[in-house]
Amino acid sequence: MSVTTLTRSLTWPGIRPWLGTLARLGLAAVWLFAGGAKVGDLGGSGRAVNAYQVMPFEVAKVIGAALPFVEIALGVLLVVGLATRAAAAVSSLLLLVFIAGISSAWARGLSIDCGCFGSGGQLAAGQSPSYAPEIARDIGFLVLAAFLLVWPRTRLSVDRWLESTT
């Protein structure tokens, strides 16, 4: 690699699309793990949503059954890099809802597991909830989503391939 190409690829416009790829694949992994952990127990997923006590049980069941599939679909979109900005927007929205839910459970003094990656529901006696780390983790994921929302053009993506065909 010559000195000129090296310096060009090390500039912000050169690095950014690759950072975007990392963010995209990282966020994709989050959604695929989160969805995959819950998809085998849709009833349990509904109960985990219900444990937040923010909606009627019947509604929580619908959300709980739908959510793992939405998460997996989001993960697939992000892995291939299709409609990255839209996927990042929906990701940000979901993460904000999750953060709000966990915060409100914390504020109301509920003693639940967030159910983010399966399980969920009330904690056994002697276990204490870990709301702060759960929220911090979700904020980390939100940073990835925000990066892609602002800079959706990433390397190794279908979006980029579509762009090059016109």
Partner 1 sequence: MSKRHERKSAAKVVRKQLAAERRRKRTMWVSIAAVAVLVIAGLIGWGVYQSQRSNSGPLVAPASATTTTGETVGTGPVQIQIYEDFICPFCKQFEDNAGPAINNLVSQGKVTVTYNTVAFLDPASTTQYSTRSAAAAACAADGGKFKPYHDALYAQQPAEGTAGLSDSQLISIGTGLGLDQGSFSQCVNSGRYEPWVGSVTDAAAKAGVTGTPTVKVNNQVIPNPTADTVVAAVNAA
Alpha-carbon gap, residue 164 to 96, rounded angstroms = 33
Tokens standing for residue 62? 């619908």
Instruction: Return the SS3 of 113.
Output: strand
The residue among 8 and 57 lying less far from partner 1, judged by its C-beta, is: 57
- Neighbour tally for 51: CB within 10 Å: 20
Of 21, 27, 68, 116, the one binding partner 1 by CB under 8 A: 68
* CB 51 to partner 1: min, Å: 4
Residue 103 touches partner 1, criterion: CB under 8 A: no
**Which parts of 22-51 interact with partner 1 (CB under 8 A)?**
39-44, 46-47, 50-51
Residue 164 touches partner 1, criterion: CB under 8 A: no
Binding segment for partner 1 among 3-11, 111-119, 134-142, 143-151 (CB under 8 A)? 111-119
Residue 124 is classified by DSSP as P
By C-alpha distance, which of 61, 32, 58, 31 is closest to 44? 61
Outline where DSSP puts E strands in the chain. Answer: 112-113, 121-122
* CB 57 to partner 1: min, Å: 4
37-47 burial, b at 16+ Cβ within 10 Å, e below that, comes to bbbebbebbbb
Sites of contact with partner 1 (CB under 8 A): 39-44, 46-47, 50-51, 53, 57, 61-62, 65-70, 72-74, 77, 82-83, 85-87, 90, 112, 118-119, 121-125, 159, 162-163, 166
